[in-house]
Amino acid sequence: MMDIRNREFYEKVIIELDIKSGDKIYEIGYGPGMGIHLIANLRKDCSLSGIDYSELMVAEATKRNKKFINDGIVNLKYGDLLTADIDNERYDKIFCLNVIYFWSDLSKVFDKIYSMLNDGGMYCIFMTHKKEFETQKFTKDFCKYSIEQVESELKKAGFKSVEYRLEKGYYIKSIK
């Protein structure tokens, strides 16, 4: 179900990322690994890494991306972004879909993401509009942010350019 619902969002974020040969890309909360799989199928000349907090999702994403993992294109980790040892790795592109609701402190998360990006690097987010959550029971405990809150926190973290558009949710692009 998550695959069907998120595929359209992934496809649009991937276009937004404007992936180039040699890009180092990182996904936060990769879920069943669809986004990483789509990118790896399109661009075998990039390296993809990611982290997810669910052991079940790590297992599913590993299964889905086994060929790319074996080929050394994809590296998936289990854990929490804020406590993960990123080994001073820097990335050209970082992205996430529908994970912002699990973060209680945007400031800490955006500071960490900013520190992971190369100069000129891009961070893309897709987040469902908070009004959409009002109709869904399973989202009652989610942190629901307005686009203005997200934009403000990204700018406080140091992103020099923050753009967004509303299309079945918010597509947000930030440049370091």
Average pLDDT over residues 57-83: 96
161-166 and 117-127: which strand pairing?
unpaired
Q: Which domains are seen in the chain, by residue range?
A: 2-175 (3.40.50.150)
The pLDDT of residue 86 is 78
**14 neighbors 5 (Cβ within 8 angstroms):** no
Per the rule left: phi > 0, alpha: psi between -120 and 50, beta: everything else, 165 is beta
Q: How confident is the model at residue 136 (pLDDT cuts 50, 70, 90)?
A: low
Rounded to whole angstroms, how far apart are CA atoms 31 and 89? Answer: 22
Rounded to whole angstroms, how far apart are CA atoms 144 and 98? Answer: 11
Percent of the chain with pLDDT over 70: 89
- Does residue 135 have a pLDDT over 90? no
Average pLDDT over residues 95-120: 94
Q: How confident is the model at residue 1 (pLDDT cuts 50, 70, 90)?
A: very low
CA distances from 131 to 8, 142, 172 (A): 20, 12, 17
The pLDDT of residue 5 is 74
pTM above 0.85, yes or no: yes
* Residue of higher predicted confidence among 153 and 136: 153
Average pLDDT over residues 28-46: 95
